[in-house]
Amino acid sequence: MKGIIINADDFGYSKAVNYGIIDAHVDGVLTSTTLMANMPGAEHAYQLASQHPNLGIGVHLTLTCGQPLLKGHHTIVDADGQFKKLYHYQKLFHIDQEELYKEWKAQIEAVISGGVTPTHLDSHHHTNNLDAVLPVFKKLAKEYQLPVRHNFTDPKQDNLVSTDYFEYNPEILNASATEIIERYEKYDTIEIMCHPAYLDKSVMTGSSYATPRIEELDMLVNPKVKEKLYRSNQFKLITYRDL
C-alpha cells in the first residue's frame, strides 16, 4: 500500500488561499499543508488550524515573499525591508546564513505560538535546496526534530525523516489508479505538492502561479479523484505525522 501525503503550499498567504486549502481538506483528498508565518493570512490560518485537527500542518519557510518577521536583516531583504524576489537567487548571490537561521527560526516559533504543532518543514519556491540555504534548513530540521520535504538529495542520508519521493505535479491525481501505482512502483511513501486556492486580489497581483490554483482545488474535491484514493486498497492518505 502506498502512503500518500497530499500537501498544499501557501497556507496563510491570504484568506482566499486559506479557504481553498480547508475546502480541499474537508471536501476532498488534501491531508496536509504548510503555513507561511510572515504573510497577512497567517492569523486566519491559525484560527482555521484549531478547527481542523486532522489536517497536518508544517512550516512553509519563506525567503522570497512578503516581509520578514524580524527586523535588522541586511542580506535577505531589499532596501524597503521586503524579502528579495526569487530572481535574486537564480544566479550569484550572497546570504548571511546566521541571518537566515534567525529569521527561519522565528517563522517556526511563530507557527508554534499560533497553536500549531508543526508536522514538517518545506520552503516557498523551494529555496531550501539552494547550496547556501540548505545547511540552514537541515540545521533547523534537526533542531526541531521535524521531517522535511524530499526536494533535495536524499534527506535520509542526513538522518532526516522524509517521504521516499516528492512529486511536483499534482495532475498525477487525474491518472488512473494503475498509472499512479506504476509511476511510484519503487516507493512506499510519496508527497504530492499542490496549491489549491480561491482567487483574490492578493493572489492575482502577487503570485506568479494564480489561476491554476482553482483547477487544482477542483481536482482535489472531484468525486472521481476521491473515489479512486479513498476506495482503493492500494493507497492510504497520510500526513507527515505518520512517517
Q: Dump pLDDT digits (tens) for 115-162.
A: 999 999 999 999 999 999 999 999 999 999 999 999 999 899 999 999
pLDDT class for 95, splitting at 50, 70, 90? very high
pLDDT of residue 19: 98
H or E stretch covering 220: helix 212-220
Check the annotation: does 195 bind a ligand.
Answer: no
Domain assignment of residue 229, given as a range: 2-242
Question: 201-223: per-residue pLDDT in tens?
Answer: 999 999 999 999 999 999 999 99
Q: Quote the pLDDT of residue 232.
A: 82
**pTM passes above 0.85:** yes
Q: Which helix (DSSP H) or strand (DSSP E) does residue 214 occupy?
A: helix 212-220
CB 74 within 8 A of CB 98: no
pLDDT tens digits along 98-120: 999 999 999 999 999 999 999 99
Q: How many domains does the chain have?
A: 1
Mean pLDDT of all residues in 164-176: 97
pLDDT at 233 over 90: no
Determine whether the annotation assigns residue 124 to a binding site: yes
Mean pLDDT, the chain, rounded, equals: 97
- Kindly state the average pLDDT of the residues 56-70: 98
In sign, the C-alpha dihedral spanning 229, 230, 234, 236 is positive
Identity of the residue numbered 120: H
Measured at the CA of 215, the angle between CA 213 and CA 219, to 5 degrees, comes to 115
- Whether 203 contacts 213, CB under 8 Å: yes
Say which CATH number the domain at 121 has. Answer: 3.20.20.370
Query: In the chain, pLDDT over 90 holds for what percent of residues?
Result: 97
Cell of 109: 516559533
- What pLDDT is attached to residue 231? 84
- pLDDT band for 16, please (50, 70, 90 cuts): very high
